[in-house]
Amino acid sequence: FSSAELTRAFLQRIAELDGQYNSYISVDEAGALAAAAAADTTLARGEGGPLTGIPLAHKDIFCTDGLRTSCASKMLDNFVPPYDATVVRKFRAAGAVMLGKTNMDEFAMGSSNETSFYGAVKNPWDLERVPGGSSGGSAAAVAAGLAPAATGTDTGGSIRQPAALCGITGLKPTYGRVSRLGMIAFASSLDQGGPMARSAEDCAVLLGAMAGHDPLDSTSADVPVDDYLAGLGEPLAGLRIGLPRQYFGDGLDAATGECVRAALGEFEALGATLVDVDLPNTGLSIPAYYVIAPAEASTNLSRFDGVRYGYRCAEPVDLHDLYTRTRGEGFGEEVKRRILVGTYALSAGYYDAYYKKAQQARRLIARDFDAAFQQVDIIAGPTAPGPAFRLGEKNDDPVAMYLEDVYTLAVNLAGLPGMSVPAGFVDGLPVGLQLVGRHFAEARLLNVAHQFQ
């Protein structure tokens, strides 16, 4: 069948079903059909690659030329970028068809997709539960078959945790592997874009299109891109998998832990060896992250001032009024909380006590991983402490929400690649297994995930 037929089928499913899930913020029917027609012409000439004519969705944090990019905030509800993010440009160049932009937590701050200005996303496995966040729209769209694949971003778990809660596969690449140009910044030293799809193989194809050095992003790594498909078939015999003791202790839901252990047993059957390892500074991840990420967010979000772009309050009387009312009205509660925490942590007199301390903790966390990777090739454990929770359940308690990230944050703080793959089910809800690799070992992670699947 043609790309036009395929694209129409997905557009129709979105129109029929997304009322239940709310996984898209914008659907670009005309743009998608035009791209599909162009892809069909390319394919008819016998040209094109693996992504030519394949529909996919982008998280609404990636700038799309001529198509509203809201970051799920009232602040950017009217923002139409004049350029494409590098990731978007690369997918267009590969012939992929963009169906639309997916829902997310406002400015990617959250673990449940409930902070979106456009309303919460529902988990396709149980509409009363959250899909996880912040890339919850992408995860729900893929899980519900409203896109075969989608992009996400992960600052502290936002690809892996929603992938786990929705039963799909998601990969957060090594920091710097994928360009951040045109990806609206949350915490610049942690943010990383990556693929979300139904299998490791699909993620391998997508990562191949996304990855690579970008001279326009100074933090992008000038490291050759592997052929992520080539090694998928490698057997796992001799692979050493480290299980951090700290990831299987208090706070992990018992049934989730059992499900993850059962999945790990399958790796043994595939010839891998399971080894206990220690990541002794794991307990520092949440406090360090929730200082560093808000600190960086507070500076990144200072650009939303009602002057240059985005929302502007009505009839400001002077500049101060313009700033304060624009920001007061344009940002949601969680975003304001992060800006306040971050501004406080960076202020003179508190810098040493909070930001500097957090950076020192970050170094210790990274060293834990270096030491563990002396002993093992891959680290594995649960992605999240439990399966999808009920909508509203953790809304009144930011700390309970932050605990959702307990197993994912350290990976961002250390800049490592991490994946979530479906491990099984607890009470009919999917559970994710997290795999963490050495820097730039995405090919190895994808190989391990593919053998398991």
Chain residues that interact with ligand GLN, rule: CB under 6 A? 108-111, 134, 154-158, 186, 293, 405
Residue from 3, 23, 26, 59 carrying the catalytic annotation: 59
Give least dist CB 199 to ligand GLN, A: 22
Largest CA distance in the chain: 70
Residue from 26, 116, 134, 420 carrying the catalytic annotation: 134
What are phi and psi for residue 273, nearest 5 degrees? -110, 135
By the 8 A CB rule, do 31 and 67 touch? Answer: yes
Nearer to ligand GLN, 94 or 293 (CB): 293
| 8-state DSSP, 355 | I
Give least dist CB 74 to ligand GLN, A: 18
Q: Which residues contact 251 (CB under 8 A, 6 or more apart)?
A: 385, 403, 406
Question: Is the CA virtual torsion 206, 55, 137, 295 positive or negative?
Answer: positive
Nearer to ligand GLN, 124 or 156 (CB): 156
Give least dist CB 355 to ligand GLN, A: 16
Residue bearing tokens 């406002």 = 106
26 upstream amide cis, omega within 30 of 0: no
Task: Please give the helix or strand (H or E) that residue 195 lies within, else none.
Answer: strand 193-197
What are phi and psi for residue 254, nearest 5 degrees? -60, -45
Nearer to ligand GLN, 22 or 111 (CB): 111
Quote the tokens at residue 120.
């919460």
- The whole-angstrom separation of Cα 418 and Cα 350 is 32
Residue from 70, 135, 138, 158 carrying the catalytic annotation: 158
Nearer to ligand GLN, 148 or 152 (CB): 152
Give least dist CB 401 to ligand GLN, A: 7
Give least dist CB 63 to ligand GLN, A: 17
Burial 277-311 (b: 16+ CB within 10 A, else e): bebebbebbbebbbbbbbbbbbebbeebbbeebbb
Give least dist CB 287 to ligand GLN, A: 13
Give least dist CB 286 to ligand GLN, A: 10
Active site residue 134: yes
Nearer to ligand GLN, 91 or 402 (CB): 402
- The whole-angstrom separation of Cα 140 and Cα 150 is 10
State the Cα angle at 168 between 447 and 203, rounded to 5°.
40
Active site residue 59: yes
- The whole-angstrom separation of Cα 141 and Cα 223 is 32
Give least dist CB 149 to ligand GLN, A: 19
CA atoms within 13 A of residue 75's CA, in its CB half-sphere: 28
- The whole-angstrom separation of Cα 355 and Cα 178 is 26
- The whole-angstrom separation of Cα 408 and Cα 404 is 9
Nearer to ligand GLN, 111 or 256 (CB): 111
- The whole-angstrom separation of Cα 22 and Cα 335 is 21
Nearer to ligand GLN, 199 or 412 (CB): 412
| 8-state DSSP, 277 | E
- The whole-angstrom separation of Cα 385 and Cα 365 is 19
Nearer to ligand GLN, 293 or 429 (CB): 293
What is the number of other CB atoms lying within 10 angstroms of the CB of residue 76?
24
Task: Enumerate the active-site residues.
Answer: 59, 134, 158
